[in-house]
Amino acid sequence: MGDPEHAEAEHLYGDELLEKLKYGWAPLPNKTLFALVLGGLKIRMMRSMVTMVSIILAIAFLAYTGLANQGGYNLAKLSQKLSEAEQTKLETVAEASEKIGAAALVESLGAGERKDLAVKLGMGEIESQQAEMKKIAAPLRNGKHNLVEREKELGDIEADPEAVPEDLTKARADVEDARLAVESLGERKKLLEEQIRLGVWLETGAGPAGMEEELEGALRLRKETLVGMAGTPSRLNDDGLEQLALFLDLAERRGGLEEAIKVLREVVAQEKTKREASDLATRLRRAGINVQATLKGNPLDTWLIVMALLTCAVGIANAMLMSVAERFREIGTMKCLGALDSLVVKLFLLESGMLGLVGAGIGIVLGTAVAVAAAAIQFGVFGMRCFPLGEGLKVVGLSMLSGLLLAVIGAVFPALLAGSMKPVDALRVDE
């Protein structure tokens, strides 16, 4: 028994038969359409790769530019915010420093607590002191030799009855300068020796008697120095600010100095903010980013993106035109079998759309990776801190949509050309 519909189709002729064949092509399942597209891409692998590379590069540039611009805008806003931070009045800082400086913070600690505090302050790390001792050994030796020479010259001038007063004054000044230099280096050497001895005692417990009292005096001196410099925190390095914060924590545990502690904590925070602002401003200048211009917007970046996308669209259109030229006989054969113009157009648009999606995905990954690496290298922690996450998702979505639209739009004309081609013209073309 045969299929009734098949039996009925065997008795159809002319236009009625063509009508049945036409609907045999038109409602092809999507699975079949995609199989045809994938087969075509596999056959024309090199041509497809060239088209995809153009999409990858354009979308990578789009993603990188979008993320870099938004990141630069975020950095410019942060720089402006940091530079506009308020500063505590000096009178308030001086009063707070005096209160904390007069408090017996170190004296209230036990022996174990003092050692713990000294370790946190870095007093047990003697490598830097030992290295500095080696560095000042030669200058100190040369300074002593220079002092002996200056004193000898002064003695010769004083013994010379014909010496003029100007030479005598200059020789005495040279001797005084040499003596001050030697005394300064000598005091620094003595201080380093004390720090090294104290560090060895903290680390090993070995040392002369009276180290407990020496540690207390060193801690008290460190506290007075740091608190006294709070009025001009720019004189403190980063370690000094952290050490000042340790003494403020100690004062907070002691109690009764809440207002003074609050003021000095604000000073420490403001100084860190000021240094961050300076560091960020330097990085922005090196990167060629003008804060005010960036906050207003830069039309040049938009123009570059538009030109890149147009170039990509032209490249896709050219590649798809070449694909049509290579497939004249295939197009003619499909049309002879009853394929509609819309089916041919759909095949070309699907092929280009698949290239666009894959190329856009790879381009987004590449552009994002470059943007993250550039932000980390140029701006360090600021780059990661200001990297656009929420805005970055918009950039990724826009890049993916742009890749798909560019591929489809670039293939519209070649697809229409292929769909409108007459079967007899397509089959007449030589391979």
pLDDT tens readout for residues 163-213: 788 888 888 899 999 999 999 989 888 888 888 888 888 877 776 777 888
> What average pLDDT does range 2-31 have in this prediction?
47
Which band of pLDDT confidence, cut at 50, 70 and 90, is reported for residue 430? low
Q: What is the 3-state secondary structure (H, E, C) of the chain?
A: CCCHHHHHHHCCCHHHHHHHHHHHHCCCCHHHHHHHHHHHHHHCHHHHHHHHHHHHHHHHHHHHHHHHHHHHHHHHHHHHHHHCCCCCCHHHHHHHHHHHHHCCCCCCCCHHHHHHHHHHCCCCCCHHHHHHHHHHHHHHHHHHHHHHHHHHHHHHHHHCCCCCHHHHHHHHHHHHHHHHHHHHHHHHHHHHHHHHHHHHHHHHCCCCCCHHHHHHHHHHHHHHHHHHHHHCHHHCCHHHHHHHHHHHHHHHHHCCCHHHHHHHHHHHHHHHHHHHHHHHHHHHHHCCCCHHHHHHCCHHHHHHHHHHHHHHHHHHHHHHHHHHHHCHHHHHHHHHCCCCHHHHHHHHHHHHHHHHHHHHHHHHHHHHHHHHHHHHHHHCHHHHHCCCCHHHHHHHHHHHHHHHHHHHHHHHHHHHHHHCCCHHHHHHCCC
pLDDT at position 395 is 84
pLDDT, averaged across the chain = 78
Rg (CA), the chain: 40
Query: Residue 365 — pLDDT band, cuts 50, 70, 90?
Result: very high
Contacts of 360 (CB under 8 A, 6+ apart): 55, 56, 59, 399, 400, 402, 403, 404
Examine the pLDDT at 77 and tell me if it is beyond 90: no
CA 219 vs CA 115, 338, 368, 397: distances in Å? 10, 96, 50, 58
Reported confidence tier of residue 370, pLDDT bands at 50, 70, 90: very high
pLDDT at residue 6 is higher than 60: no
Question: Where exactly are the structural domains of the chain?
Answer: 4-83+291-428, 104-256
Give the per-residue pLDDT at 207: 67
Percent of the chain with pLDDT over 90: 7
Confidence of residue 8 (pLDDT cuts 50, 70, 90): very low
How far is the C-alpha of 209 from the C-alpha of 238, rounded, in Å?
34
Q: List the structure tokens of 269.
A: 């925070």
Residue 16 has pLDDT above 70, yes or no: no
Res 366 pLDDT > 60? yes
Query: Rounded distance, CA 96 to CA 248, Å?
Result: 11
Better-scored residue on pLDDT, 418 or 365:
365
pTM: 0.63
pLDDT(11) > 50? no
Average pLDDT over residues 238-265: 85
Instruction: Determine the pLDDT at residue 373.
Output: 92
Arithmetic mean of pLDDT, 292-296? 76
Question: Is residue 290 predicted with pLDDT exceeding 70?
Answer: yes
- Give residue-wise pLDDT tens across range 133-149: 889 899 999 999 999 99
